[in-house]
Structure 1
Amino acid sequence: MNKRFYRGMSAEERLAERRERLISAAYTLYADVGFPETTIEKLCTLARISNRAFYECFSGRNELLQAVHDRCVRETLLSVSNSLEQAPDTPAGRIEAGIAGYIGFVTEDRRRARIMHLEVRRAGDCLTRSRQQALAAFTRIVETNVSDLPEATKANPHLLTVGVIGAIQELLIEWVLVDDPPEIDQLISTAVHIFHRSFLT
């Protein structure tokens, strides 16, 4: 069956290109104006597409936010994995490299930090599953890399990992919201301190 082409692109390519423009627009608007205040009209204006074209790509703002959030998570997981591959082969080395890789990459672009840690919460229940999947993915990375740490606490290791990840998320929310954000090195050193105090004392 022959494909129909317009301006040198097939229908599938045009759809993919529009999706990318909407994801790019959402990445900016959800992090700048905020998810609740971002209308489909604003998204379409920035992406330079019609409202009709929007609904050919996404069912609504929630699905678009999920696509943006999921991409941020995938890219962050890749960054953390790369940091761990280059880390010293010691528990402390892996811990520090993983935390630095996570915080460093997330804060590299303030929009990424805001979407991953603030706007997904403001979106409500529609992003609950995506948030849970992201938490599970990061939890697996931590548990894999601390499996050989000496047992230093009677707390449930899995729950402890979830708690430490939650603390790091709150540090990043603080970084996003305050007028005078702390230096990234301070965020990393604080997160490392929390991790060591949780698992090694």
Structure 2
Amino acid sequence: MGSTTRPYRGRTAEERRAERRGRLLAAGLELWGDHGWAAVTMRGVCAHAGLNDRYFYESFADVEELLLAVYDKALHDLLGYVERAVAPTAAPRERIRAGMAVFVRAMASDARRARIGLAEPAGSPALEQRRRDTYRLFAGLARDWLRPGDEEACTVAVLFALGGAGELVVNWLGGTLALTPEELADRASELVLDVIEPYL
């Protein structure tokens, strides 16, 4: 058995690589969330993670690949929150309300997550495209809940509503809206429901 697969201190090489990748992702999330994606560098991430520079390329080809992985991890977590909050037997209106409440509260509870998911990708073509893909993903999820006759019109309405909800959260985090997190979630839900009312 080669040294790359031999257990070390009770862990396999794959487990050690996964642990290092997790530390790099956590460091990327913190640095990006606190300072912006443009401030994330290979050496900065490695230093923050307490790892030698050579371990970066074990998991990522470059910083952009790391940033996309950080974004995807945050998206995966958010989708998990939504799936757990939305009862599959609920009526479409209740599904939308529960999904929006989870989305808004998740963003409001962590300014770094909101910065990464809502505002910060602008300026990076790859991250901006991933952000747009994410909005379409959530639009498709909402459309599946609604099952409208005109799917394209519904997609347009949901994209419009989600963009507005995201902007509400960004402004709230910036201190321009005097609302509690619960009030913000309720207001965003009502506005989204108003826009998609024809498809409920």
Instruction: State the identity as a percent.
Output: 29
Where in structure 2 are the equivalents of 1:47-86 lying within 5 Å?
Answer: 47-85=49-87
- CA drift of 1:181 comes to 6.5
Listed as ranges, the gaps of 5+ residues in structure 2 are none
Pick from 21, 26, 37 the counterpart of residue 23 of structure 2. 21
CA contact (8 A) 2:165 2:192 kept: no
> Aligned in 2, Cα 1:108/1:135: closer, same or farther, shift over 3 Å?
same
Which residue in 2 is equivalent to 1:97? 98
Aligned with residue 8 of structure 2, among 6, 11, 17: 6
> Which 5+ residue runs of structure 1 have no aligned equivalent?
none
SS of corresponding position for 1:81: helix
The structure-2 alpha-carbon separation of the partners of 1:61 and 1:178, relative to structure 1 and needing over 3 Å to count, comes to farther
Deviations 1:113-136 (A, max 9, x none): 2211122224x1122442233222
1:91, 1:148 within 8 Å by CA — same for their partners in 2?
no
Aligned length: 195
Q: Is the 8 A contact 2:82 2:102 kept in 1?
A: yes
My pick for the range that moved more, 39-48 or 173-182, is 173-182
Q: Say whether the 8 Å CA contact 1:114–1:176 is kept in structure 2.
A: no
Alpha carbons of structure 1 residues 163 and 179: separation in structure 2 relative to 1, 3 Å = closer
Alignment partners' CA distance in 2, 1:181 and 1:120: 26
Larger CA deviation: 16-25 vs 109-118: 109-118
After alignment, is 9-18 or 67-76 more displaced?
Answer: 9-18
C-alpha deviation, 1:143, in angstroms: 0.9
Q: Which amino acid aligns with 2:10?
A: G
* Number of the residue aligned with 1:127: 127
Quote the Cα distance in structure 2 between the aligned partners of 1:38 and 1:179. Answer: 28
CA contact (8 A) 1:174 1:181 kept: no
| TM-score after normalising by structure 1 | 0.84
Larger displacement relative to structure 2 (18-27 or 128-137): 128-137
Query: What is the match of residue 182 of structure 2?
Result: 185
Cα deviations by residue, 1:53-77 (Å, 9 ceiling, x for unpaired): 1122212221111111111111111
Is 2:171 the counterpart of 1:171? no
Asked whether the 8 Å contact 1:76–1:102 carries over to 2, the reply is yes
Q: Which residue of 2 aligns with 1:32?
A: 34
Q: Distance in 2 between matches of 1:176 and 1:60?
A: 31
Amino acid at match of 1:92: R
- CA root-mean-square deviation: 2.5
| 2:161/2:191 contact within 8 Å kept | yes
Shift of 1:176: 3.1
Alignment match of 2:193 (pick from 183, 192, 196): 196
Q: Whole-Å Cα distance in 2 between the matches of residues 99 and 21 of structure 1?
A: 30
